[in-house]
Each structure stands twice: as structure tokens, then as C-alpha cells.
């Protein structure tokens, strides 16, 4: 059993930003056959370009380009290069709006390209694998993962007819990313109490609610009923809103995300983002002294990995990732820094929670 140091409350006033500029998507459609709504939410923009992938073009990208009567570009290079290429095209062709149609990577390329070219964009996700679809945060693979700040989309079209047909692993990954808000908020509170960091009650309450509703809906989501997929999509879109209100990814990303980013850097074959975050949430919730078994149970109901073996990552790499996680965004104070996690503590926590 790990002895968790007592957290003492600071009596001083914590840092509060001088001002906030809260940007949120203002047109969101979630449900059956909402793809056609793309023309409604883009009607104020003249010159548009659809950004899609080779596979997602067949699923929805071509159809969206047809509905909007505009060109599409198939993105297939590395994300940073692709964002640069598309941003150049936007300027040259005087494009006013980008429409990203695809999975997380395509949506991130669109988000970054729109930011670089200073134009608006909308997200049309073809799966629900993570909470990037409505957020201002770009997660780009660059020898591990780098989080960059951009703008949120002005609209989101999440068509459940398309999303429900994607492989189930995308849904379970989204489930893990939503559940991760449990430990992310605990870490944020810790940063507030110990370091005097700004802590937003609205953003943190929203993030906690996202995790609670997702947990309560485990069975419905695992069955991928219309209601279940809607609940998960609302959770992932709300997570983008929580980040928008906080002005950072703090309510959505804590020690469990650092653990996932560390795995992305050192594992030969990293697992899906939300699956790694889900396993991270189990062990980080244990370190926080909270109900990790309830979280593990919900992840099992949703058919998410709960062990290193199920992530298909070996024991030593998972232990190394727990230790390396502290080096990722060291300014973001979490339970990992608080407990100064070393090898014996990491092994103990991973063994106690049954991850290794
Ligand atoms: Zn995430």
C-alpha cells in the first residue's frame, strides 16, 4: 500500500487569468443522417475545401464535397507537412472554410491548417475515438505526441449512422478518453491546492460530469445503441467545451495522458490513445486514493483494455512509461510529481491494480 502524503490547503488566492477569450463551436449536430446539415452550417462561407483521408473519403469525404459542391484534398503525408501544404493551398485559392472529414488525425490536420491560414473550419468525425473533434487542442505525432494550441471548429457534424459503423475499438477508445477526466480533474485540483494554479469550477465540474455520465452509460455505450453513441459523442464534444472554458486542456488531460504520451514515445507499437488513457486512469485514480476499481469495472464493461497485456505492450515498457511520464509537460503538476513516482512505487501501483 502506498502512503500518499497529506495535501495541505493553501490559504493564498490562486492565480487567475487576467482575462479569458472563450471560443466554442456554435453549430453542433449529433444524430442520425445529420451529414446533410453540413450545407446549413457552412452557408455563410463561399469558397470551401474538404480535407479527408483515402479511406474516409469513401465513407463520407466525397459525399460532403458533393453536398457542398466544392473540391476535396486527400491528406496522406505526415501531419505537420500536410497542415503546411493545406494552409498554403488555402491562401493561394482564397479558401474561406476548411471542412475536415475523417478520424482524429485528419481533424487535427484540418485544425492546424485552418489555424496557420487563419480561416474557420468545421469537424465531421467518422469515428469517436477521442475528444479532439470540438477542442482547440491539436495532438500531432512528432517523435511521441505534441499538443499544440489552435482554434476550436465553428461547427461539428457527428453523424451516428457513420460513426456507429466504424470498428468498435474507436468507440472503446473514446470511452477511455472520456473516463480519463476523473484523474485529469483530480490532478488539476492538486495543481491548484499545491501550486496555486488557476482552477475553474465550471470547467472542472463539466469534466467530472462527462466522466460520471460516461461511466454510468458503460453498458449502453458498449452495445453501441443510438443512445449510447449519442451519450459518448456528447461527452467528447463537451470535453472540448470544458477545455475551451478553461482555456487549456487541463480539465481533460492529466497524469493518465502523460502516461499515454510516454507510451507513445517508448512503446514499439503504442495502443490507441483512449485505451492507453483508460489504463492510465485506473492506476492514477489508485494513486489519488480514489475508487479505481469502479473505473476498472466500467472499462471492462465497455470492452476497453485494462491490463498491459490487453494493450499488447510488455510489462517493462509500461513500468518505464509510468516513470517517464513525469518528464512530459513537467509544468503540469499531477499525482506523478506529487508522489515523486519511482520504480518501486510504479511497480507496486501497477501490480496492485492488476495492470501488470
Ligand atoms: Zn485524450
Q: What share of the chain is helix, strand, coil (3-state, %, to 5)?
A: 55, 10, 35
User: Distance (Å, rounded) from C-alpha 110 to C-alpha 105?
Assistant: 9
Distance 67 CA to ligand 1 centre (A): 31
Cell 490507441 belongs to: 272
Distance 160 CA to ligand 1 centre (A): 21
Sheet harboring 71-74: ordered strands across? 27-31, 155-159, 120-125, 97-102, 48-52, 71-74
pLDDT tens per residue across span 5-18:
565 555 455 678 88
Residue 3: predicted pLDDT: 59
- Phi first, then psi: what are they for 139, rounded to 5°? -115, 105
Q: Are 262 and 251 in contact (CB under 8 A)?
A: no
Cell 450545407 belongs to: 39
C-alpha cell at 319: 513500468
Distances (CA, A) of 257 to 9, 109, 302: 25, 20, 19
Distance 249 CA to ligand 1 centre (A): 9
> Which residues are paired to 48 by β-bridges?
97
Distance 274 CA to ligand 1 centre (A): 6
Distance 190 CA to ligand 1 centre (A): 19
pLDDT tens per residue across span 81-110:
999 999 999 999 999 999 999 999 999 999
pLDDT tens per residue across span 125-164:
999 999 999 999 998 776 666 788 899 999 999 999 999 9
Distance 257 CA to ligand 1 centre (A): 6
Distance 254 CA to ligand 1 centre (A): 9
The percent of residues in the chain predicted with pLDDT above 70, rounded, is 95
- Phi first, then psi: what are they for 97, rounded to 5°? -150, 130
Distance 253 CA to ligand 1 centre (A): 6
Distance 132 CA to ligand 1 centre (A): 7
Distance 131 CA to ligand 1 centre (A): 6
* CATH match for 169-352 among 1.20.1090.10, 1.10.3720.10, 3.30.300.30, 3.40.50.300: 1.20.1090.10
Distance 256 CA to ligand 1 centre (A): 9
Q: Are 112 and 148 in contact (CB under 8 A)?
A: yes
Give the residue extent of every domain in the chain.
27-166, 169-352
Nearest to 157 by CA among 33, 72, 48, 244: 33
User: Distance (Å, rounded) from C-alpha 69 to C-alpha 101?
Assistant: 15
pLDDT surpasses 80 at 112: yes
Q: What is the mean pLDDT of residues 304-319?
A: 98
pLDDT tens per residue across span 215-270:
999 999 999 999 999 999 999 999 999 999 999 999 999 999 999 999 999 999 99
pLDDT surpasses 70 at 286: yes
Distance 120 CA to ligand 1 centre (A): 23
Distance 252 CA to ligand 1 centre (A): 7
Distance 69 CA to ligand 1 centre (A): 34
pLDDT tens per residue across span 315-336:
999 999 999 999 988 889 999 9
Q: Are 182 and 153 in contact (CB under 8 A)?
A: no
Residue 141: predicted pLDDT: 73
CATH class given for the domain over 27-166: alpha beta
Distance 243 CA to ligand 1 centre (A): 11
Residue 244: predicted pLDDT: 94
pLDDT surpasses 90 at 1: no
Nearest to 67 by CA among 37, 111, 103, 98: 37
Rg (Cα) of the chain, in Å, rounded?
Answer: 20
Residue 20: predicted pLDDT: 84
Q: What is the mean pLDDT of residues 50-58?
A: 96
Distance 180 CA to ligand 1 centre (A): 8
User: Distance (Å, rounded) from C-alpha 246 to C-alpha 139?
Assistant: 18
Q: Are 238 and 208 in contact (CB under 8 A)?
A: no
The percent of residues in the chain predicted with pLDDT above 90, rounded, is 87
Distance 273 CA to ligand 1 centre (A): 7
Nearest to 136 by CA among 37, 20, 275: 20
Distance 187 CA to ligand 1 centre (A): 15
Distance 157 CA to ligand 1 centre (A): 20
Q: Are 145 and 264 in contact (CB under 8 A)?
A: yes
Distance 101 CA to ligand 1 centre (A): 19
Distance 164 CA to ligand 1 centre (A): 20
Distance 297 CA to ligand 1 centre (A): 20
Residue 213: predicted pLDDT: 98
Distance 176 CA to ligand 1 centre (A): 8
User: Distance (Å, rounded) from C-alpha 250 to C-alpha 72?
Assistant: 34
Cell 468525425 belongs to: 125
User: Distance (Å, rounded) from C-alpha 277 to C-alpha 168?
Assistant: 17
- Phi first, then psi: what are they for 340, rounded to 5°? 45, 60
User: Distance (Å, rounded) from C-alpha 38 to C-alpha 35?
Assistant: 6
* Of residues 278 and 12, more confidently modeled: 278
Distance 169 CA to ligand 1 centre (A): 15
C-alpha cell at 321: 512509461
Distance 31 CA to ligand 1 centre (A): 23
- Which residues have C-beta within 8 Å of that of residue 304, sequence separation ≥ 6? 172, 173, 175, 176, 274, 275, 278
- Phi first, then psi: what are they for 197, rounded to 5°? -70, 150
Distances (CA, A) of 20 to 121, 196, 332: 22, 18, 20
Judged by phi (left if over 0) then psi (alpha if -120 to 50, else beta), residue 178 lies in alpha
Distance 304 CA to ligand 1 centre (A): 15
Q: Are 120 and 145 in contact (CB under 8 A)?
A: no
The interface predicted TM-score (ipTM) is 0.99
Amino acid at each position: 500500500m502506498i502512503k500518499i502524503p497529506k495535501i495541505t490547503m493553501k490559504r493564498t488566492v490562486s492565480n487567475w487569468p487576467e482575462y479569458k477569450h472563450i471560443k466554442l463551436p456554435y453549430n453542433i449536430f449529433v444524430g442520425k443522417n445529420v451529414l446533410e446539415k453540413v450545407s446549413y452550417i457552412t452557408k455563410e462561407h463561399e469558397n470551401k475545401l474538404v480535407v479527408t483521408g483515402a479511406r474516409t473519403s469513401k465513407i463520407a469525404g466525397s459525399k460532403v464535397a458533393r453536398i457542398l459542391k466544392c473540391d476535396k484534398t486527400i491528406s496522406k503525408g505526415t501531419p505537420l507537412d500536410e497542415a503546411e501544404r493545406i494552409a498554403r493551398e488555402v491562401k493561394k485559392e482564397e479558401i474561406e472554410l476548411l471542412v475536415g472529414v475523417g478520424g482524429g488525425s485528419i481533424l487535427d490536420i484540418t485544425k492546424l491548417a485552418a489555424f496557420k491560414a487563419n480561416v474557420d473550419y468545421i469537424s465531421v468525425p467518422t469515428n469517436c475515438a477521442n475528444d479532439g473533434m470540438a477542442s482547440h487542442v491539436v495532438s500531432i505525432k512528432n517523435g511521441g505526441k505534441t499538443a499544440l494550441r489552435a482554434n476550436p471548429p465553428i461547427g461539428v457534424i457527428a453523424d451516428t449512422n457513420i460513426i456507429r459503423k466504424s470498428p468498435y475499438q474507436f468507440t472503446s477508445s473514446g470511452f477511455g478518453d472520456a473516463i480519463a477526466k476523473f484523474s485529469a480533474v483530480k490532478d488539476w485540483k492538486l495543481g491548484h491546492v499545491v501550486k496555486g494554479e488557476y482552477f475553474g469550477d465550471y470547467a472542472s465540474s463539466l469534466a467530472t460530469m462527462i466522466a460520471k455520465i460516461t461511466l454510468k452509460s458503460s453498458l449502453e455505450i458498449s452495445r453501441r445503441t443510438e443512445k449510447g453513441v449519442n451519450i459518448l459523442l456528447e461527452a467528447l464534444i463537451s470535453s472540448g467545451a470544458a477545455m475551451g472554458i478553461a482555456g487549456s486542456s487541463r480539465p481533460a488531460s492529466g497524469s493518465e495522458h502523460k502516461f499515454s504520451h510516454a507510451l507513445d514515445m517508448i512503446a514499439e507499437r503504442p495502443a490507441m490513445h483512449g485505451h492507453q488513457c483508460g489504463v492510465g486512469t485506473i492506476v492514477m485514480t489508485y494513486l489519488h486514493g480514489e475508487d479505481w476499481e469502479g473505473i476498472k469495472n466500467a472499462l471492462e464493461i465497455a470492452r476497453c483494455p485494462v491490463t498491459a497485456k490487453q494493450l499488447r505492450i510488455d510489462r517493462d515498457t509500461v513500468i518505464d512509461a509510468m516513470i517517464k511520464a513525469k518528464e512530459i509537460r513537467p509544468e503540469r503538476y499531477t499525482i506523478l510529481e506529487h508522489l515523486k513516482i519511482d520504480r518501486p512505487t510504479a511497480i507496486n501501483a501497477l501490480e496492485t491494480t492488476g495492470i501488470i
